[in-house]
Amino acid sequence: MTNYSTRATISLFKASFQPLNTIMRISFYKLNASVAEQPGHLFIYYLQVHTNTGTLLTLKQEEQIMPTKFTDQDVARLIQLWNANLSAKDIALEMGRSFHNIRNKIKSLQKKGEIAPRSNTNKVDDTFVEITAAAHQLPIEVVKHFTTLFTGGQERVIAGTQQCCEAYTRQNGYCYYLPDRVKLTMDVSPSGVVPMQGHQGELILVCLAIANTRKTMSHDGFINLCKTIATTFA
């Protein structure tokens, strides 16, 4: 079964390569599927796009299975890191777990009273949202969504939100890499907005499907990859 990231990637490939070739079939399979999905096991996924001229592209994606259950030692370690003022994201990296796994465990421990909740230092007031929306002539809902894309304190959230508003206006609300084709949305769908770094270090807004494909690649590296694929199969 394909995961969300893979489904988004398939949709992106269909949009990108349809003008060049007729897509006949898309294959997706996973190696090591017979191995029990235990923490530490490495799974290798392959995605192949077949067209009327042959196999257009083969993608390989590795996925490390992360632990989900907590031992008493794991809980003690999580509490220690939380009390050291690490964020849930940093705790996840430190413990080799997914962010959602750590976040859910933190919520559970807070309900039990085993760790104290923190004040939300990232929250900005409604006045900032309203003024920023008016200044950029954007809907309040859009600006409010931008404020949720950043952490690290109010100053960082405010700066990031301002940059998102500027990029959104500059890009006319479209994905940076697919102008006039994919309209950005304020949700977690394949067209959902994701801030990334552009060619000169500026903030750009891309759709989730492309963000999941580019991942840690630089802007230039991603563009070179796209050019290579287009040149090879033009």
Closest CA to 44 of 62, 29, 27: 62
Q: What is the pLDDT of residues 155-197, one digit of tens each?
A: 889 999 999 999 999 999 999 999 999 999 999 889 999 999 9
Percent of the chain past pLDDT 70, that is, above it, reads: 71
The per-type count for the chain, helices as H runs and strands as E runs, is 9, 5
Q: What is the pLDDT of residues 81-140, one digit of tens each?
A: 998 888 888 898 888 888 888 989 999 999 999 998 877 777 898 999 999 999 999 999
- The structure tokens listed for 138 are 């954007």
Q: What is the pLDDT of residues 63-77, one digit of tens each?
A: 555 678 899 999 999
- Which residues, at least 6 apart from 37, have a Cβ–Cβ distance to it below 8 Å? 43, 65
pLDDT given at position 53: 59
Q: How confident is the model at residue 37 (pLDDT cuts 50, 70, 90)?
A: very low
Domain ranges of the chain: 4-64, 72-111, 126-221
Cβ atoms of 178 and 15 within 8 Å: the answer is yes
- The SS3 of residue 139 is coil
Looking at the chain, how many residues does it have?
234
> What sign has the CA pseudo-torsion 119, 121, 127, 130?
negative
Averaged pLDDT of the chain: 79
